[in-house]
Structure 1
Amino acid sequence: MSILLVDSYDSFTYNLRNLITSTTNANVITIHNDSYDLNIEDDKLSLDNLLNSIDAIVIGPGPGSPSNPSDIGVIPYIFQKCTNLPILGICLGFQIFCLLNDCSTHYLNNPIHGQIHKIKVLNNDDIFKDTPEFVDSVRYHSIYVKQDNSKKIIPLAIYNPSDNNETTGDSILMAAKHIKYPHYGVQYHPESICSSFGSNLIKNFWNLVDKEAHTKPLPKIEPHLVKSSPLIEKFTTELSNFEYNLLNYKPVDSKFDILQICDTLKANNQDVMLLNSASAPGEWSIIALPQVNVSDVITHSTENPNTIKFSKWNNDEQIEEKYTNDIFKSLSEYMLNKYFNPVIENKELMSCPFVGGIIGYMSYEEGSFIDIQNLEKRTKNDNIDDTKFCFIDRFIALSPSNNIYIVSIRQNDNEFIKNIETILNKSDNNINDSIINNELFKKSKITIPNKDDYFKSFHDCQKYLHSGDSYELCLTYNTIVQIPDNFQPWDIYKALVKKNPSPYSAYLNFNSSMLLSTSPERFISWNNKFCQMRPIKGTLKKNPNINYEKACKLLKIPKELGENLMIVDLIRDNLLFLLDKIEVTKLMTVEEYETIYQLVSVIEGNFTNEFTGIDILKNSLPPGSMTGAPKKRSVEILQKIEKNQRRGLYSGICGYWSLNNNADWSVIIRSLFRYSDDLCNENGYDTYRCGAGGALTVLSTDDGEWDEMLVKLHSVLQLFE
């Protein structure tokens, strides 16, 4: 038996699909509301054949208005044609259902996005059978329904302000059914992580279907919203590359901290790249040791999307260009050919997730839904570094207990390990004591966003939030930081990380582009068995008057909880698009960092089917915490409001993908990044950029969001005070 799920480009569709499949065990066919064009005879015939063969229909939520044809597509036609078929409309689907049955829709004075409210059930029959009188429901809507004089629908549930300890406001229709047809609808989102009795609602709806009368074979239809093919086959030991058959390592007894180790190596002409876990929840730190003219460098630019470049470290003269129609597919094939999962005897080192692999970053523009063609130029040439990775087969691993291991997976590389050991043992532990001259820092020029421009963009965002086109918009701006060119990037990074220690700090200098990061936010980590995502929404600067308990009270307010809940629901959807099983293991918990408190959730997914971490990564970019929801519409709105400016590395990701298929990626925030040929370059200065922004909801205020953006900027710009 089959259920048709109609998606209106929402970011919660696969949460709903998962709820339906887990409750009914039915075959769920998912289409977009514009998958068929009713003006094309063949399309109309195909849709009719589909509607004649399924047993029930769910019309999902989505952005926009129920009265706008471009937002609703074929949904009115489905309601009108399938009068005898059970149909359940959710949010936008509910509004369309009511509008078609002589009700009216209006805009709320105060839209509700990501808020948990109690609704009162008026009728415990039908879809609310075995449901208590009051149900916790998550609401995402700017538009509400008035029954007016409609004789065609029967109210099933309402929202009363008094039931939610509110003193003002009107009752709002939250669920209804048709007086004659088996058509139902709910205004809230039963699939949200914080809605209760969602599966009960779907079970009762499915019970409306006459299972014994089912005689409908499905027609041969073209697939619509189906899972794409995996980018690569599963990593297995049979794939192990003969080139890497041994992991060589040497423990080193050194009292140096990780910055001193890097200082020592650089003083001995060894280039370094650093992924530095300076605080929890980071664990191992990795000092990558690329070799000039030997280590592979992989480059991709969205300005030339069908070309991927392979060169060697610090040698851009010999570049091999290859065709690509998918940068993620190309990276997957590169890594699959080098798969290596060594047996490590050292009990501590075997817990290190990195055994060699690619280290680097991908920009915001490598994600989905971005109109690459209309982006403003950021650099003088047409090959901006959107993806930059170096293949690392030599590195130093620093354990959580500060033990040091020199590691190489090259064959016969004992001499290299011995040389590095000698360098570290002979080094002067005062080499890191040089302090950057604050007077020189004062010569840097900083151009922060214009407050009036920000306020205008803020209110433009509010128009879209109030119209129902988005529930949350992460508005961002770049700050230009021009630093005298006699400052070395490594010295800037050291000063930055000392001011703002973080669990996902990084120093990645490719010369053509570079990243100096003190990010606190993990985007995704994975291994062969499962993946984990850790969205952050809600930030509070630490000060002597705020302890952890007070921070919890200040962060766990409707605005912050709503922002975090939306991103949790969005990430659940991203994972459920490909995976069969996920779990929210931490929901809106306050975590303490060196300079801030943050509201964090943790979502985990298990790899029980053919998909792997790289599939999840591709499907999840750009990070939902940097866009808002629904993601597609929000990305499009933000690009327009941000005037087609490239975000660049800010809002992208950095980290590693290890040869044993372990990976850890952070969201690039609280960072400085630089392009060598930035259009804003001036003689005597190096141009760095520092992105900052915040998630805007209808509960946001312009002053509040401006101040929050300045707090985030300060975590980096305090370097120049």
Structure 2
Amino acid sequence: MKVTPRVLFIDAYDSFTNNIVGLLENKLYVDVTVVRMDDPFVVKHFHALLKAFDAVVVGPGPGHPALPKDIGIIQQLWELSPEDMLPVFGICLGFQSLGYAFGAKVQRLPFPRHGIVTRVTHCKSDIFETISEFEATQYHSLHVDIGKQDHDDLWTITTACPELKPLAWDLDDKHTERILMGHRHVSKPFWGVQFHPESICTTTEGARVLSTWWEHAQQWSFQNQRRAMTCDPVFQQLLNMQSTRVFKDSSSKVVLNGNQKSQLRWLQQRQKSVRVTDLVEALHASQSEVILLDSQGHNAGRYSILGIVDTDRTRKITYNVQKHELVCYFGNLGSLRVSVDSQQQVWSILQDSMTDFAELASPYGLPQSSPFWGGWMGYVSYEGGLESIGVTTPCSGEEPDFNFAFIDRSIVIDHEEGLVYIQSLIADDMSWLSRTNGLVSSLEDKPALSRTISSQKKESLNDCIKRGHNSKPVEATYRQKVLACQASLRAGDSYELCLTDETRILLPVETNPWELYKSLRINNPAPFGTFMRLSGATIVGSSPERFLRWNRDGQCQLRPIKGTVRKTQDMTFDKASTILNSAKERAENLMIVDLIRHDLSGVCGARSCSVPQLMQVEEYQTVYQLVSVIEGWLPKYGASSTTPTGIDVLKASLPPGSMTGAPKKRSCEILADLEHRHRGVYSGILGYMDVGGGGDFSVVIRTAFRWDDEVVYRPSNDSATPATFHVYRVGAGGAVTIQSTDKGEFDEMETKLDSVLETFVGPKVDNQGAISVNGVSSSKEQS
């Protein structure tokens, strides 16, 4: 029986690993085993483990090859004895480590090359023998210096590094004479490239270098009579350890359905004129716990979904990262508070409770066009995402990092088809369905109730806003943090850092958050509007960015936004497109696209992942933005506890790459030190998981949130009694790259902040007639 070749991939905590693994599997037809460069078992059994593999690929990662903490076991590869030798291919950090091990200097570039696509000039021999000219993506701050050639020949071996043969160069850098892009050891089976063959913007020929290397690797193994051990005991032990890691723990399962057969009861009516805000007010839902996902009829959001929370009936869960405390609420039956080892048990509750509805039925058939039949609605905070990648912050909060309600009663508006679905998972709930159906019908012929009420309360809202206070980021401090980010980028610790800051707004406790939301959706309409009051959190948002959607057929989609230009009278779509298609903005977007491809392919597999939209400009109410779309399909292995679901993709993708940078883990650690604050709901995700098998989450940006029990007191000018205020928080920021300017990044942060701030502090007009928010002119353009 033919044995499939095995390749060991050493991961240095990079965020592109799965893209490379997919390329290896698809191009070389090999089985790839991924290990971390500091895995204790691998470190202990490294030499014995190598006997089970035909070759090793060393991936990219943050840091410097001279630092043991950054490369771990990688250094041992270059020191292998002849009897342990096997072919090795290094990419980026792996390439630099190979050079450093054999005498090269690894130095900082004058200008790092992160997300830059350039032409590679190669020797047309060795692993480049059959490769045509190509362009490739670079992600590096450091470069390998092998010394000057004795003759002015790119391919001669230098006296400084007599064991390294140069194979490829980048000759187009404006700041450096030339940058080494590929080399090999003159006698050992070690090769490496500085560029990233797996990037979406590396051309096919650049990716094919891996195939030509594999041919050379196999030839070397044949000539040296080296074969991998097919039944190596250490390898089998490693596989057993990896296969027994718990990914789905049912130990804390919450029984939602009581083992009864699940039934969905629903009514449908055609309604083209009903407004979701009118519906909320007619149901008096805004005064109690409620979850509204409001697409506002935007072309990127076809549906609006209203989740009804019943204090006596609705099941809820919250989880706090700092305390590792999980609380399960069972309506009027009480609650259960437990300490857990990790958030995995929370994910298990969410996942397992959905399987209770695997045989969902309906006496009328199921409404296939409705994306949500019931299920979990809520959010995961930024810190909840950090815990999933092993990053802790110096400032942790007491509030819920997971906050979800299981929605039995829901109303879905299909804006495209003009349909309204009234739905319930509760047995014998026809009375509520009928009553709500009648209420929806009554709204069609009435005037816009929400506008009428908003007009009546406008004076009160404006009065509250005038009495408010706000504290915005200090420009000098923010710009200094931008420069600190760039210092980390130059050191090779990150390719891109999404720096953020927070504005705190104090509004009198009598301020109605529902009226704030209605004002925000007028000032800054977006496809992922949110009004949520749940378990002590109030959220008022108008996010333009989808994080992840998966449908009932298993198709997954992510839509990262990177690159923003403020809309003004002078800023046309064409002008914005020119700015957003600059090298800086495209590099910013490209890095997140490659990161998200890694996150998605880790669950869906690289073969199913594609990028149907790469860096296109989209127009919103207040900004133009550069948007990409990444898609993949969940594998269909049959109904079992190990079949991947959309929830698995959700877990694997947190926190949102567009809010972190790349590589994700190291970038989040750097940002935690710089920001030194709890982001909370901002930068997290918010949406739903449908019992029918779908889900949709947005990135929480352009959003204000408050914790209902957090109030502050300030002296009142006209009363001896101190005034009481709620604290609203609005986060904003942007991706810092090496091409950023500190002024430009501050302006971009303010552009995003102002899209929300007008609702909370009110606009005013300067003497040039430009609208400004708290003194910040809205005519300011991004640098």
Return the TM-score normalized by structure 2.
0.84
Code of the residue aligned with 2:756 in structure 1: it is V
2: CA distance, partners of 1:353 / 1:268: 23
Q: Which residue of 2 aligns with 1:553?
A: 578
CA distances 1:176-230 after superposition (whole Å, capped 9, x unpaired): 1111112111111111111122442111111121465454314223437957665
Q: Is structure 2 residue 699 aligned with structure 1 residue 667?
A: yes
The 5-angstrom pairing of residues 249-398 of structure 1 reads: 249-251=267-269, 253=271, 255-266=273-284, 272-278=290-296, 279-312=298-331, 318-322=334-338, 324=340, 325=342, 326=344, 327-339=346-358, 341-342=360-361, 349-368=367-386, 375-378=394-397, 382=398, 384-398=399-413
Provide closer, same or farther for how the CA distance between residues 373 and 678 of structure 1 changes in structure 2, counting only shifts above 3 A. Answer: farther
Code of the residue aligned with 1:108 in structure 2: it is L
Q: CA deviation at 1:499?
A: 0.8
The 5-angstrom pairing of residues 239-638 of structure 1 reads: 242-251=260-269, 253=271, 255-266=273-284, 272-278=290-296, 279-312=298-331, 318-322=334-338, 324=340, 325=342, 326=344, 327-339=346-358, 341-342=360-361, 349-368=367-386, 375-378=394-397, 382=398, 384-401=399-416, 402-426=418-442, 429-432=447-450, 433=452, 434-435=454-455, 436-437=458-459, 438-510=462-534, 512-528=536-552, 529-580=554-605, 581-608=608-635, 609=637, 610-638=643-671
Determine if contact 2:479/2:745 at 8 Å carries over to the other structure.
Answer: no
1: CA distance, partners of 2:36 / 2:661: 20
2: CA distance, partners of 1:423 / 1:287: 14
Q: Which residue of 1 aligns with 2:129?
A: 129
Determine if contact 2:314/2:405 at 8 Å carries over to the other structure.
Answer: yes
CA distances 1:415-440 after superposition (whole Å, capped 9, x unpaired): 11222233344565353222323343
The 5-angstrom pairing of residues 138-287 of structure 1 reads: 138-148=137-147, 149-161=160-172, 166=174, 169-196=176-203, 197-208=205-216, 209-210=218-219, 213=225, 215-218=227-230, 219-220=232-233, 221=235, 222-223=237-238, 231=248, 242-251=260-269, 253=271, 255-266=273-284, 272-278=290-296, 279-287=298-306
CA distances 1:237-263 after superposition (whole Å, capped 9, x unpaired): xx9974432332141647332112212
1: CA distance, partners of 2:285 / 2:353: 33
2: CA distance, partners of 1:603 / 1:373: 28
* Structure 1 stretches lacking a partner, 5+ long: 234-238
Code of the residue aligned with 2:498 in structure 1: it is C
Q: Which residue of 1 aligns with 2:720?
A: none
Determine if contact 1:340/1:659 at 8 Å carries over to the other structure.
Answer: no
* Structure 2 stretches lacking a partner, 5+ long: 148-159, 251-256, 638-642, 715-722, 764-783
Equivalent residue of 2:704, what SS?
Answer: strand
Determine if contact 2:7/2:31 at 8 Å carries over to the other structure.
Answer: yes
Higher mean displacement: 416-425 or 527-536:
416-425
Determine if contact 1:240/1:340 at 8 Å carries over to the other structure.
Answer: no
Q: CA deviation at 1:692?
A: 0.6
Provide closer, same or farther for how the CA distance between residues 468 and 270 of structure 1 changes in structure 2, counting only shifts above 3 A. Answer: closer
Provide closer, same or farther for how the CA distance between residues 550 and 346 of structure 1 changes in structure 2, counting only shifts above 3 A. Answer: farther
Determine if contact 2:403/2:535 at 8 Å carries over to the other structure.
Answer: no
Q: Is structure 2 residue 694 aligned with structure 1 residue 654?
A: no
Code of the residue aligned with 1:28 in structure 2: it is V
Equivalent residue of 1:367, what SS?
Answer: helix
Code of the residue aligned with 2:99 in structure 1: it is C
CA distances 1:73-94 after superposition (whole Å, capped 9, x unpaired): 1212111106642211111111
Equivalent residue of 1:479, what SS?
Answer: strand
1: CA distance, partners of 2:563 / 2:114: 16
2: CA distance, partners of 1:400 / 1:717: 28
Identity of aligned residues (%): 35
Q: Is structure 2 residue 24 aligned with structure 1 residue 12?
A: no
Determine if contact 1:483/1:685 at 8 Å carries over to the other structure.
Answer: yes
Code of the residue aligned with 2:679 in structure 1: it is R
2: CA distance, partners of 1:697 / 1:372: 22
Q: Which residue of 1 aligns with 2:156?
A: none
Q: CA deviation at 1:569?
A: 0.7
The 5-angstrom pairing of residues 43-58 of structure 1 reads: 43-44=43-44, 46-58=45-57
2: CA distance, partners of 1:500 / 1:248: 33
Determine if contact 1:152/1:178 at 8 Å carries over to the other structure.
Answer: yes
Q: CA deviation at 1:169?
A: 3.5
Code of the residue aligned with 1:454 in structure 2: it is Y
Q: How many residues align?
A: 696
2: CA distance, partners of 1:591 / 1:226: 43
2: CA distance, partners of 1:491 / 1:345: 38
Higher mean displacement: 302-311 or 599-608:
302-311
Equivalent residue of 2:748, what SS?
Answer: helix
Determine if contact 2:711/2:726 at 8 Å carries over to the other structure.
Answer: no
Q: Is structure 2 residue 735 aligned with structure 1 residue 695?
A: yes
CA distances 1:571-592 after superposition (whole Å, capped 9, x unpaired): 1111222222211111111112
Q: CA deviation at 1:304?
A: 2.4
Code of the residue aligned with 1:131 in structure 2: it is I
Q: Which residue of 2 aligns with 1:236?
A: none
1: CA distance, partners of 2:478 / 2:503: 12
Higher mean displacement: 466-475 or 507-516:
507-516
2: CA distance, partners of 1:468 / 1:9: 13
